[in-house]
Amino acid sequence: MAGATLFRGNDTFGALPVDRGWALHNHWTLLGEWVPADDDDYTSVSAENDGRIGWSARGGWNGQRLSLQYTHIDNRSDGKPYGALYNWGTKFDVASFEYTGDDWVVIGEYGWGPTFVAPRGQKFVTDISAGYLLFSKSGGAGRVSIRVDSYENQRGRDEALTLAYLREVYGSWRAGAEVIATEDDTRVMLQLRCAFSNH
């Protein structure tokens, strides 16, 4: 399989990993929303400032149990400031795989590439990368998952470990627990979900 995409509205892609650093949270960024990158500047998943068309291309292979995919993204941003929004010219490559067994799955993904900003005509380039490896196994009415994440930018490297367990407790109700640990923080989340039917 292969495909390509032309897109607009991702001119600030690269700002958060470089300016703010990586973050683990459950915030859903919306179209049009401005997200603080540092004390003075913002980023957005939909900002279109320079009128340039970005592009991405991908290719992959699907087998009975194994899937592979490679993607290249180039937002073609000019790297210039637009008020409180800074464009970041980012070229990013992503390689991923998924291997499925009878009751388990292993998924991995790694992305890397340079990004630049040119606030006063002077170009500053840095590399960013991120990857994860996930192992998940089902058994009985439950599923246990382990995920290791790695992040790297010009400030250094950080890792995170996630342990999660989900179990059907009654009918359409599921209970779960999740622990996320990094070098600086540990968080625990408990959840109770109900799946509603459309019958």
Residues 177-189: tens digit of each pLDDT: 999 998 888 889 8
C-alpha angle with apex 20: 179 to 121, nearest 5 degrees?
Answer: 155
* Higher per-residue pLDDT: 49 or 38: 49
Strand partners, 166: 143, 176
Q: Distance (Å, rounded) from C-alpha 41 to C-alpha 19? A: 9
Segment 100-116 mean pLDDT: 95
Q: What is the pLDDT of residue 198?
A: 58
pLDDT (0 to 100) of residue 157? 86
Q: Which own/partner contact pairs does 121-126 have at CB distance under 8 Å and 24+ positions apart?
A: 123/79, 126/18, 126/153, 126/154
Q: Give the pLDDT of residue 18.
A: 67
Return the SS3 of 38: coil
pLDDT digits (tens, 9 = 90+) for 57-104: 999 999 999 999 999 999 999 999 888 888 999 999 999 999 999 899
Q: Which CATH architecture has domain 2-194?
A: Beta Barrel (2.40)
Look up the pTM and report it.
0.83
